[in-house]
Amino acid sequence: MSKALKRDIVTGFFWSFIGQFGYMFVGLIANIILARLLSPYEFGQIGIIMFFIVIARVLTESGLSGALIRKKDATEIDFSTVFVFNLGVSLTLMFLLILFAGKIAAFYDDDELKNILIITSFVLLINALQITQNARLVKKLKFKKKASYEFIAILIASLIGIALAFKGAGVWAIVIMQISTAIILTLLLWVFEGPISNFYFSKSSFKGLYKFGVNTTLASLLNTAFDNIYQLILGKYFSISQTGFFYQGKRLQEVPVKIITSTTLGVVFSSLSNLQDDSKKFENYYQRIITLFTIAVGFICLVVYFYANNIILILYGEKWLGAVFYMQILIVASYFYMQEMFNRVIFKVFNKTEKILYLEIIKKSIQAISIFIGVVFKNIEILLYGFLLTSILSFFMNYNESRKVQNNFSWHEIILVIKVGMISIFTVLIGNFVNRIMDLGGYQSFFALPILLLSFLILIRIFKVSRLENDIGTLLKLIKND
């Protein structure tokens, strides 16, 4: 590995983290203020609408940006082809959403949903104008620029949304904020990174990129649909306010998840792609990274679970306590989900994306059964525990298939995930015990946080999961010496 590449990887990790942290921080602050000003019902309306928007986004992107990043000799024709394709698909999907907006609103017996969906659908067209510029930045490991553009966009859009909420705009404050974010980011990318130099669609280029993109797109489509379908089910069979609780619990749970996956997986994919022809170096990097990744994820998830009630009270207030259960189940599921996403890097690096689609079909079949049972019995707990079970099974299936790709099956990673998971459970039990004996109720329970951290680190050492200082040092040496 060249010195320039090593420097780019380290710099990429740093700026990717800083950028995602800044973006998520601003978004979180805006969401907190809006949650204080708006009701669970209004966020429930957004939750329903966002199902259709995120599904359309997956289809618009079509996994082709990932194909551009992976392709070592991507040309301007490749970038132009992806741009033209994305633009065409986004226009088609936008018109379909506008066409069916009335029927969707009637299904939920909420006329306002029609106009919300029509206006929000324009985000698809705006986002299509920025996908290739983003892919170019990631491919060149220019995460500092990418982070700057995203931060500026979310900051300005959040100020607009908050101002509208204070003016009494209601749910439209959220809608305008989302559209503003997309517009500002697109303008920044086109002004500073330049527009597409060619407007040309190459069939041969598309066929080459399509093989990679089609599998990841269909897999992402299944994953996104089932991940967000709970918003539709809760809104139809329970109440739109329940959708609001789920939506907000999910938003909070996604803060640490998105920071970790966006900063780690993007940089890891880009850097490991350069090591795909050297199995020994690939394995050395991968094993060290996955160990530290699992430990960090385990601790973050246990803290969010332990303090879920306090987090909701502090950030949103008592009217949002209905989101606590959703937040706790989702953060436990995200522990396994993030492991699954890490394993997917292997499929992408070695161009075995058909495996991703194959696994998603199996996993979603299992999840569909749990959803059906939850709807039949009209039981929210069955719905959520079914989602958790699917996340656990998904990790094991992904791990098994990913190691087959490398022809190097090992129980190491499975044992690692189980150990860290059990340590997290033990740490939560210790925290509950400390709260009881010290009578730490409400916000006083935060005094137990140092005990949680110390207990977690001690158990990591006792169960021989890792000697953190050694693993970090070894990883730094690998980066330095390769």
Residue 13 has pLDDT above 70, yes or no: no
Residue 246 has pLDDT above 80, yes or no: yes
224, containing H or E segment? helix 203-237
Beta strands per DSSP E along 190-323: none
Which 8-state DSSP code applies to residue 378? Answer: T
Residue 84 has pLDDT above 60, yes or no: yes
Q: Picking from 118-127, 135-144, 425-434, which range would have the lowest pLDDT averaged per residue?
A: 135-144
For residue range 15-66, what is the model confidence (pLDDT) as tens digits? 666 777 788 889 889 999 999 999 999 999 999 999 999 999 888 876 677 7
Average pLDDT on 228-232 reads 90
pLDDT of residue 51: 93
Residue 178 binned pLDDT confidence (cut-offs 50, 70, 90)? very high
CA atoms within 13 A on the CB side of 8: 18
Contact 460, 468 (CB under 8 A): yes
**How many Å apart are CA 18 and CA 251, to the nearest integer?**
19
Task: Show the tokens assigned to 292.
Answer: 């530290």
**What's the first-to-final CA gap in the chain, in angstroms?**
5
Residue 480 binned pLDDT confidence (cut-offs 50, 70, 90)? low
Average pLDDT on 323-352 reads 84
pLDDT of residue 267: 59
Alpha helices in 38-141 (DSSP H): 40-61, 64-70, 76-107, 112-120, 122-128, 131-139
Determine whether 37 is exposed, middle or buried from the number of CB atoms within 10 Å of its CB (0-12, 13-18, 19+): middle
For residue range 414-451, what is the model confidence (pLDDT) as tens digits? 898 999 999 999 999 999 999 888 888 777 888 889 99
Cβ contacts of residue 137 below 8 Å, gap of 6+?
143, 145, 146, 193
**How many Å apart are CA 324 and CA 173, to the nearest integer?**
24
Residue 284 binned pLDDT confidence (cut-offs 50, 70, 90)? low
Residue 107 has pLDDT above 60, yes or no: yes
Average pLDDT on 145-166 reads 93
Average pLDDT on 460-472 reads 77
Contact 40, 107 (CB under 8 A): no
Percent of the chain with pLDDT over 70: 86
pLDDT of residue 179: 96
For residue range 369-407, what is the model confidence (pLDDT) as tens digits? 989 998 998 889 988 998 899 889 888 888 888 777 767
pLDDT of residue 38: 94
